[in-house]
Amino acid sequence: MESNEVWTPTQWHCLGCGSLVTGFTNARGDIKVECKVCRMVMVRTVKGQRHSTVETYTPKEPRKRKINSTTGVPTDRVASRVNPAPGHTPELS
């Protein structure tokens, strides 16, 4: 028996860190995604055409952050500017 399943990706922003996550629908219609940045697990259940719920599960262990030894700033928060002005330190968000 051949089934014509369509695997359509669903994307949204992580509720923990804001990075883009992608998931696929399972047989029940749920979409389960784990964020690669903050490791938060989200399960999105579509209830109707305009109604869906998102259950979030935080990781058991927090992610270990790498700290830059010269600046003391976490490396994942380093500004993405390529060439800042000389003598100017970009603001970190």
* Domain contains 88: no
* Domain contains 29: yes
Domain count, the chain: 1
Q: Report CA-CA distances (Å) from 83 to 26, 61, 64, 86.
A: 45, 36, 28, 9
* Domain contains 84: no
* Domain contains 41: yes
How far apart CA 86 and CA 93 sit, in angstroms, is 20
Q: How confident is the model at residue 91 (pLDDT cuts 50, 70, 90)?
A: low
Q: Residue 34: what are its φ and ψ, rounded to 5°? A: -115, 125
* Domain contains 93: no
Structure confidence at residue 93 (pLDDT)? 52
Q: pLDDT tens-digit profile of 19-47?
A: 999 999 888 889 999 998 888 999 999 88
Structure confidence at residue 92 (pLDDT)? 56
- pTM for this prediction: 0.57
How far apart CA 32 and CA 52 sit, in angstroms, is 13
* Domain contains 91: no
Sheet architecture: strand order including 30-34: 30-34, 41-46, 52-57
Residue 56 in this model has a pLDDT that exceeds 60: yes
* Domain contains 43: yes
Positive or negative, the CA dihedral 63, 67, 73, 78 is: negative
* Domain contains 2: no
- What residue numbers bound the domain in which 39 lies? 9-77
